[in-house]
Structure 1
């Protein structure tokens, strides 16, 4: 299950439990809308409550990242899991965005806000 919030150029997603393909499709729809009408966006992924993801989510993420390689400015990932930290760094191969991993949500949001201020 996911929870989403968005404002101007930010899309924030919190994942609870297992991250399913239906959840990912909901995320994709929101991001596609934001990109279409506002251009590049920043992403905040809160994965601290995620217990896993399905294989089809991993495949969809690769396809989506390749299709939107230039559509993100910064991607902040909230997690304390080493495997997710590693996969966040690998995802940089598919997107032309700064990717940073955080343990603290306030730090992540501040990092995203810093780039948003300079973009205005």
Structure 2
């Protein structure tokens, strides 16, 4: 299950439990709308409550990232899981965005707002 929250030029996504293809498609709709009407957006993924993801979701994420390589400004990923952090760094291959992984929500929020965090 996911929740999304939209702000100006930004989409926040929180994942609870398993991240499925249906969840990712819902996220894509929100992002596509924002990009169409606002241009490049920043993304904030809160993955602290994610228990895993499906393979079809992971493949869709790669496809979506490649199709939108220039549509993201900054991507903050909030997690304390080293494997999720590793896959986030791998996603940097597909997008021009500045991607950073955080363990603290306040640091991620500050960075997305343009305030550099001492821990990046």
Q: Same fold (TM over 0.5)?
A: yes
Aligned partner of 1:118 in structure 2 is: none
Give the CA deviation at 1:26. 0.4
Aligned partner of 1:44 in structure 2 is: 44
- Equivalents in 2 of 1:99, 1:7: separation in Å? 19
Deviating beyond 4 angstroms after TM superposition, the runs of 4 or more aligned structure 1 residues are: none
Structure 2 alignment gaps of length 5 or more: 116-120
State how many pairs are aligned.
115
Structure 1 alignment gaps of length 5 or more: 116-120
Give the CA deviation at 1:20. 0.7
Aligned-residue CA RMSD (Å): 0.8
Alignment TM-score, normalising by the size of structure 1: 0.94
Aligned partner of 2:118 in structure 1 is: none
1:30-41 alignment runs, 5 A limit: 30-41=30-41
- Equivalents in 2 of 1:5, 1:40: separation in Å? 16
- Equivalents in 2 of 1:55, 1:80: separation in Å? 21
Give the CA deviation at 1:39. 0.1
